[in-house]
């Protein structure tokens, strides 16, 4: 038998392999160098923008000046960090009103929330990480104390019709939202207990204490009967009239949940809560004309009942109050289950012209 010399297969020549490895290493080294150079250039840019003398602030442009007392050197600190540097950070944030926890040198959720708030209020990237830029602003003369979003003062109280619930004296629907709280001394006209008043073969009432204005509850029942006649049943009302003090309780509970489960400061928890729970006084449920309509045991969004309501509620004087399309105007995330009674003379125009209540009053109100 012919013995073939023990040659490596083509392409596996050791010299070639070594050559390849060298080339790969060179490429990696070149890449690392490139990144370093880029970083240096960046650092230089940052340095150049940090001028030691105070500069005027033009409009929203923030000119950063370094406080010579700022702690140095300046490592990036983030959630989980601990030590003196974190203490300095906490103490500075506390002085400015962003942090209300203990100055304990532990960078936890509370410190992170405070950093995010500070960054938001100084036009910085709100990532909760204290890097070069955040640190520079934080310890500069440009760092300003926390600006609390003022609770919008209720605007001019409309004159309210005493006979027809939810209407002003000139017959327009009363607007209740974040900027327009329930008019002082607003009184419901004729609340009925829906658990006793409604035919519960037509609609399930989720709690024995749910109440609503008679005029709206009657319209609601007519609507459900017609829907059932069209083959759409299984209706439930899970919320109706709410007093201002009940709303306060809902609000407080949600704030507490956020503080406890998401490790938020009170201020952060309150602004998070405002995204989904109306401030006490600013909920339409105070009128006794708004109802949360659901299907027992399932999420309402996307159900055939939700589609039927979105299409037909207008004929009965109801409006689908918070839609995705109008989120920026209503200030509320879409709520496919929340319907407000305004009467057919208004609801049909709002449907036909595709106006949310804010837009409708802007166009037709006095």
Active site residues: 335
Half-sphere exposure (Cβ direction) of 237: Cα atoms closer than 13 Å:
33
Contact partners, residue 125, CB within 8 Å, separation at least 6: 119, 133
Name the residue nearer to Zn ion (CB basis): 122 or 326. Answer: 326
- The contact mask relative to Zn ion for 301-340 (x = CB under 5 A, - = no) is -------------------------------------x--
Shortest distance, position 241 Cβ to Zn ion, whole Å: 11
Query: Using an 8 Å Cβ cutoff, are 306 and 324 in contact?
Result: no
Please give the Cα distance from 255 to 8 (Å, whole number): 71
Element at 44 (helix H, strand E): helix 14-49
Shortest distance, position 309 Cβ to Zn ion, whole Å: 13
> Residue 286 carries which DSSP code?
G
Comparing C-alpha atoms, which of 208, 241, 191, 201 is closest to residue 224?
201
Name the residue nearer to Zn ion (CB basis): 338 or 346. Answer: 338
Shortest distance, position 337 Cβ to Zn ion, whole Å: 7
Considering only residues 267 to 306 of the shown chain, the ones binding Zn ion according to CB under 5 A are: 292
Please give the Cα distance from 251 to 259 (Å, whole number): 13
Tell me the residue nearest to Zn ion as measured from the CB: 338
Shortest distance, position 55 Cβ to Zn ion, whole Å: 50
Shortest distance, position 135 Cβ to Zn ion, whole Å: 44
> What are 338's strand-pairing partners?
292
- The contact mask relative to Zn ion for 169-208 (x = CB under 5 A, - = no) is ----------------------------------------
Name the residue nearer to Zn ion (CB basis): 114 or 237. Answer: 237
Count of residues near Zn ion by CB under 5 A: 2
Name the residue nearer to Zn ion (CB basis): 169 or 333. Answer: 333
Name the residue nearer to Zn ion (CB basis): 264 or 356. Answer: 356
Query: Using an 8 Å Cβ cutoff, are 322 and 330 in contact?
Result: yes
E-only strand ranges, the chain: 191-193, 203-205, 211-213, 235-239, 290-294, 318-322, 335-341
Name the residue nearer to Zn ion (CB basis): 250 or 348. Answer: 250
**DSSP code string of 2-39:** PPPP-PPPTT--HHHHHHHHHHHHHHHHHHHHHHHHHH
Contact partners, residue 223, CB within 8 Å, separation at least 6: 312, 313, 315, 316, 318
Shortest distance, position 147 Cβ to Zn ion, whole Å: 31
Query: Where along the sequence are the contacts to Zn ion (CB under 5 A)?
Result: 292, 338
């Amino acid at each position: 038998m012919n013995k073939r010399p023990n040659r490596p297969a083509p392409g596996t020549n050791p010299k070639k392999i070594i050559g390849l490895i060298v080339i790969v290493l060179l490429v990696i080294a070149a890449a690392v160098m490139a990144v370093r150079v880029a970083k240096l250039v960046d650092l230089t840019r940052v340095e150049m923008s940090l001028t030691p003398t105070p500069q005027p602030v033009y409009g929203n442009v923030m000119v950063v000046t370094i406080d010579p007392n700022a702690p140095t050197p300046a490592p990036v600190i983030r959630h989980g960090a601990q030590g003196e540097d974190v203490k300095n950070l906490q103490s500075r944030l506390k002085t400015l009103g962003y942090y209300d926890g203990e100055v304990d040198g532990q960078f936890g959720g509370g410190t992170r929330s405070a950093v995010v708030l500070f960054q938001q209020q100084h036009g910085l990237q709100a990532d909760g990480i204290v890097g070069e830029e955040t640190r520079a602003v934080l310890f500069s003369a440009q760092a300003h104390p926390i600006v609390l979003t003022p609770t919008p003062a209720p605007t001019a109280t409309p004159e309210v019709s005493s006979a027809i619930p939810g209407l002003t004296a000139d017959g327009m629907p009363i607007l209740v939202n974040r900027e327009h709280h329930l008019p002082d001394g607003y009184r419901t006209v004729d609340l009925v207990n829906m658990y006793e008043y409604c035919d519960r073969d037509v609609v399930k009432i989720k709690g024995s204490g749910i109440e609503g204005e008679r005029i709206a509850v009657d319209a609601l029942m007519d609507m459900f009967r017609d829907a059932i006649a069209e083959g759409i049943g299984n209706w439930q009302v899970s919320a109706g009239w709410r007093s201002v003090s009940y709303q306060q309780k809902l609000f407080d509970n949600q704030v507490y949940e956020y503080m406890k489960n998401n490790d938020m400061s009170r201020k952060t928890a309150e602004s998070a809560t405002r995204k989904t729970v109306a401030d006490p006084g600013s909920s339409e449920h105070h009128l006794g004309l708004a109802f949360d309509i659901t299907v027992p045991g399932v999420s309402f969004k996307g159900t055939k009942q939700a589609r039927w309501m979105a299409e037909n509620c207008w004929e009965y004087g109801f409006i689908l109050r918070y839609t995705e399309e109008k989120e920026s105007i209503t200030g509320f995330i879409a709520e496919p289950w929340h319907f407000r009674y305004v009467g057919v003379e208004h609801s049909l125009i709002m449907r036909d012209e595709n106006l949310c209540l804010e837009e409708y009053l802007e166009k037709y109100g006095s």
